[in-house]
Amino acid sequence: MELYLMIVLGVIVVSLIMGAYSTKKHYRIKEQELKIEQERLELERKRLELEERRV
């Protein structure tokens, strides 16, 4: 019974660690996507300003 309990606790701990790592990685990727989107919007704004000046 004690061995069974240790195995179950081990699986739970490993699952929690993997879940935390996965969540952290997901948020890091989302932050990078947001940063790229902000840079794209900034470049688009600058392009529109240049077009407006030319007209």
The confidence score (pLDDT) of residue 19 equals 94
The confidence score (pLDDT) of residue 55 equals 74
- pTM exceeds 0.85, yes or no: no
pLDDT at residue 1 is higher than 90: no
Average pLDDT over residues 21-48: 95
Give the C-alpha distances (Å, rounded to integers) separating 14 from 20, 23, 41.
Answer: 10, 14, 41
The confidence score (pLDDT) of residue 54 equals 86
Confidence of residue 21 (pLDDT cuts 50, 70, 90): very high
The confidence score (pLDDT) of residue 45 equals 96
Place of tokens 């699986």: 11
